[in-house]
Amino acid sequence: MTQLTETILESVRELIGSGVKVFPALITALIIILITRYVAKFAYKVSKKVADKTLRSKSLQLLLTKTSYISAWVVGVLFACVIAFPGLRLGDIIATLGLSSVAIGFAFQDIFKNFLAGILLLLQEPFRIHDQIIVGEYEGTVEHIDIRTTKIRTYQGEQVLLPNSTVFTSAVQVRTAFEHRRTDLAVGVDYNTPLSQASEILENLVLRVDGVLTSPAPEIDLVGFGDSSIDFLVRYWTVPQQKEVRRVKTRVILAIKKAFDDADINIPYPIRTLYFYNQDSYDDYLPAASGVQDN
């Protein structure tokens, strides 16, 4: 019994001794982690100032600041691990990470996929922050490209978070990629309308509407014969932002209606003609040679 007690006491002494030896290293590692937090914030602020002065692209500015912030954390955590576990070398950490990379890849494949897609979106810049885009069924203004998601603010004031991998692999329509954007507005006139007069009125009034650009010049095309009207297509250019496109379209519609009213040009309603037959004298089922007498 005495020997068992001595063995237990000896084990406890060794445990306490090991804890005492490791305790300073753990405290030091904890201090390093706390310092790393402030260093990462400082690196973020410095990189942001440098990016603002040297880079025009908002996307590249965001990439530089995120890379600096994450790099500071990675270096700090690795250094803390080496201090906390003296027998652990940096090469051992890298080797361990290499061996476990397959398992980590399977466990966090979506996170890594979105992260890499986000980096590629920031580098390639298919669109930029504040661009207006359409991805699938979502349309709005790009507000932020995060590590995992792209944030879009819809025109209705709602926020949509799209995974970066989805944005990267989908067809993206960038509505503000260029300085001009064309609107095609259909309008029909009565069949009795002199077409040259209507075309001239449309061409003159569109140029006078506030917000319509003179270059590229508007175009007035006749596109077809409708059921109750001859159809024009008014093509004009504006700045690409959706808010201005919508406002200019309203002004153009008001101007066309007023100009046509002043010129006594009708924008006809759909017309349907109905023919009534006397069923006593008309029958689809009469034989084709009903007028021939039998011999």
Domains of the chain in start order, with CATH, are 10-107 (1.10.287), 126-174 (2.30.30.60), 181-262 (3.30.70.100)
Determine the pLDDT at residue 295: 44
Model pTM? Answer: 0.64
Place of tokens 């290293």: 25
Place of tokens 């093509």: 235
Q: Which two tokens stand for residue 197?
A: 């007069």
**What is the spatial distance between Cα 132 and Cα 34, in angstroms, rounded to a whole number?**
40
Highest mean pLDDT among 9-18, 76-85, 157-166: 157-166
Q: List the one residue out of 273, 207, 204, 212 whose CA is nearest residue 237.
A: 212
pLDDT exceeds 90 at position 42: no
The average confidence (pLDDT) of the chain is 81
Taking only the tens place, the pLDDT of each residue in 133-191 is 999 999 999 998 887 889 999 999 999 999 998 999 999 999 999 999 999 999 999 98
E-state strands within the chain: 132-135, 138-145, 149-154, 159-163, 172-174, 181-189, 219-225, 230-238
Determine the pLDDT at residue 76: 83
